[in-house]
C-alpha cells in the first residue's frame, strides 16, 4: 500500500480552541469580546471584578485597524466619498451645460447638445448616471433618467468594450471624460424622453439642429425604482 506522506491530519479546530481556552492562566485572560448581531460587548477583568462595555462595529473596526483611510484631494464636483467592500465610492454633481457627443449610425454624427444637471457615481468598477433638475445639488431631489442612450434601466452606464479604472478620487474624472468622448450608439435609447419615448437620439438631433440653449426639464422621465428615487437613496441602497 502506498501512503501519501504529504497529507496532513484533519484538525478539529473546535477541540483545539477549547483546549487552549481551558489552559489559559486566568491572570493572562484580560478580556473577552462577545459578538452579537450589530453589537459587541467587551468584558474586561480587573482583579476579581468584570466590567462590561457595549461597543459599536465602528469602534471595533477602529481598534483592529492600524491604517488611516484618506480620500486624497477631491475635485470640486465631488459631493460624497466613501468606502465599502467593493472599493471607493464617489458621487459627483455636474451643473447643466452643453456637451459635444458622437452618435454612431450609417454615419457618425457629431453634435453639441444641452444637458440637464447630472449625478455621476462610481462604486468599485461600476459607474452610474442620473439627471436632476435645477442648477444646485439637493440631497432629496427627484432623480430622472439621463436623456442619453447607453445607460441601463438601473442607471448603470454601458461603456461597451472600454476598460475602466476602479473608482477612486484620482481616476473618476478620467472616466467621466471617457464617457463623453466615446461614441454613443442607439442601444438603450427607449424611455428616456417624454416627447421621443422610442428613441432619445431623435431628441438630441432636434436640440442640436435648433441650437437649443438648455435641455427642456419637462421632457425628463422620473426614475421609478422602488429603491432609488433620490440622491440619498443612492448611498443607502447602492453604496451601503
Q: How far is CA 134 from the centre of its chain?
A: 23
pLDDT of residue 51: 78
Q: Do 59 and 162 sit in the same domain of this protein?
A: no
20 falls within a domain: no
- Alpha-carbon distance 104 to 185, whole Å? 5
Q: Do 86 and 120 sit in the same domain of this protein?
A: yes
Mean per-residue pLDDT of the chain:
86
Q: Do 39 and 97 sit in the same domain of this protein?
A: no
Q: Is residue 137 scored above 80 in pLDDT? A: yes
187 pLDDT band, cuts 50/70/90, is very high
Q: Do 146 and 214 sit in the same domain of this protein?
A: yes
pLDDT of residue 84: 81
What residues form DSSP beta bridges with 2?
none
- Alpha-carbon distance 194 to 230, whole Å? 20
pLDDT of residue 57: 78
Q: Is residue 190 scored above 90 in pLDDT? A: yes
- Alpha-carbon distance 119 to 231, whole Å? 8
Number of domains in the chain: 2
92 pLDDT band, cuts 50/70/90, is very high
Q: Is residue 226 scored above 90 in pLDDT? A: no
Q: Is residue 4 scored above 60 in pLDDT? A: no
Q: Do 207 and 95 sit in the same domain of this protein?
A: yes
Q: Is residue 5 scored above 60 in pLDDT? A: no
Range of the domain at 43: 27-64
- The C-alpha angle 184, 189, 195, rounded to 5 degrees, equals 125
- The C-alpha angle 85, 91, 94, rounded to 5 degrees, equals 165
Residue 147 burial (10 A CB sphere; 0-12, 13-18, 19+): buried
Q: Is residue 203 scored above 90 in pLDDT? A: yes
Q: Do 83 and 168 sit in the same domain of this protein?
A: yes
pLDDT of residue 8: 57
- Alpha-carbon distance 53 to 55, whole Å? 6
Amino acid at each position: 500500500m502506498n501512503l501519501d506522506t504529504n497529507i496532513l491530519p484533519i484538525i478539529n479546530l473546535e477541540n483545539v480552541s477549547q483546549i487552549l481556552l481551558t489552559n489559559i492562566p486566568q491572570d493572562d485572560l484580560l478580556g473577552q469580546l462577545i459578538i452579537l448581531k450589530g453589537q459587541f460587548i467587551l468584558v474586561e477583568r480587573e482583579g476579581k471584578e468584570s466590567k462590561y462595555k457595549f461597543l459599536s462595529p465602528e469602534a471595533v473596526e477602529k481598534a483592529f485597524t492600524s491604517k488611516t483611510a484618506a480620500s486624497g484631494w477631491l475635485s470640486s464636483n465631488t459631493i460624497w466619498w466613501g468606502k465599502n467592500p467593493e472599493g471607493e465610492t464617489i458621487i459627483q454633481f455636474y451643473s447643466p451645460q452643453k456637451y459635444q457627443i458622437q452618435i454612431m449610425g450609417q454615419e457618425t454624427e457629431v453634435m453639441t447638445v444641452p444637458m440637464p444637471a447630472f449625478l455621476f457615481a462610481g462604486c468599485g468598477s461600476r459607474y452610474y448616471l442620473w439627471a436632476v433638475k435645477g442648477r444646485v445639488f439637493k440631497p432629496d431631489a427627484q432623480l430622472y433618467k439621463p436623456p442619453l442612450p447607453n445607460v441601463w434601466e438601473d442607471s448603470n452606464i454601458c461603456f461597451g468594450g472600454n476598460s475602466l479604472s476602479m473608482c477612486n478620487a484620482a481616476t473618476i474624472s478620467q472616466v467621466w471624460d471617457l464617457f463623453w468622448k466615446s461614441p454613443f450608439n442607439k442601444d438603450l435609447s427607449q424611455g428616456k424622453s417624454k416627447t421621443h419615448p422610442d428613441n432619445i437620439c431623435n431628441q438630441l438631433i432636434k436640440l442640436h439642429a435648433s441650437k437649443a440653449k438648455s435641455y427642456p426639464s419637462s421632457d425628463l422621465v422620473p426614475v421609478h425604482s422602488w429603491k432609488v428615487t433620490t440622491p440619498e437613496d443612492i448611498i443607502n441602497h447602492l453604496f451601503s
